[in-house]
C-alpha cells in the first residue's frame, strides 16, 4: 500500500508542477528543490515522469534513486540504464539531459551534500541493503 501512495503522490505532484509551470510543487516541504524527470519505459516505450529532489553540481544535476529505502531500485533508474537520454524540467525550463551513474569516489563527495539537502536520505541508506545509486543528469551537448 505504501508504494501505491507514493506513486499517487508522485503523479499528483508532477501534474501540479506541469500545470503551474513549476510555481507549485517545485519545492519539497523541507525546502529541497524538485525537478521533473521524464524517461522512456524500457519495456513499454512510453514516457514516464517522476518528481525528484535534485542537487546542482558541476554544471549538471544529481538525483538519488532512493525510492524511500525500498529494497529495489526505482523504475526510472532502470529506464535510464536502458536509455540514458531523458528530459528534465526545472520550473518552466525543459532540457534534454544524458544520465550517467556516479562512481564511488564522487558519491563520497556528494552524499553529505545530499543528506544536508534532505536528511531522510541517510535513513533510507540505513534501511536498505542495496547501494542507493546517484545519477548525474548533464544537459545534452555538454
pLDDT in tens, 49-101: 999 999 999 899 999 999 889 999 999 999 999 999 999 999 999 999 999 99
Full-model pTM = 0.90
Instruction: Provide the grid cell at 115.
Output: 543528506
85 CB neighbour count, 10 Å cutoff:
12
Report the C-alpha gap between 119 and 47 in whole angstroms.
Answer: 30
Alpha-carbon radius of gyration of the chain: 14
Cβ(77)–Cβ(132) below 8 Å: no
Q: pLDDT at residue 1 above 60?
A: no
- Ranges of each domain in the chain: 2-139
Cα distances (angstroms) measured from residue 10 to each of 45, 51, 142: 20, 6, 29
Encode pLDDT of 109-132 as tens digits: 999 999 999 999 999 999 999 999
Encode pLDDT of 2-15 as tens digits: 666 777 878 878 88
133: three-class secondary structure by DSSP: coil
Identify the CATH class of 2-139.
Answer: mainly beta
Amino acid at each position: 500500500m505504501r508504494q501505491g501512495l507514493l506513486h499517487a503522490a508522485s503523479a499528483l505532484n508532477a501534474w501540479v508542477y506541469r500545470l503551474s509551470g513549476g510555481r507549485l510543487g517545485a519545492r519539497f516541504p523541507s525546502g529541497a528543490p524538485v525537478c521533473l524527470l521524464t524517461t522512456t519505459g524500457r519495456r513499454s516505450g512510453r514516457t514516464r515522469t517522476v518528481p525528484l529532489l535534485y542537487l546542482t553540481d558541476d554544471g549538471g544535476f544529481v538525483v538519488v534513486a532512493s525510492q524511500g529505502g525500498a529494497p529495489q531500485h526505482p523504475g526510472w533508474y532502470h529506464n535510464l540504464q536502458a536509455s540514458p537520454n531523458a528530459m528534465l524540467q526545472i520550473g518552466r525550463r525543459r532540457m534534454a539531459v544524458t544520465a550517467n551513474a556516479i562512481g564511488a569516489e564522487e558519491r563520497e563527495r556528494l552524499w553529505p551534500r545530499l543528506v544536508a539537502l534532505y536528511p531522510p536520505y541517510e535513513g533510507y541508506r540505513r534501511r536498505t541493503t542495496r547501494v542507493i545509486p546517484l545519477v548525474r543528469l548533464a544537459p545534452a551537448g555538454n
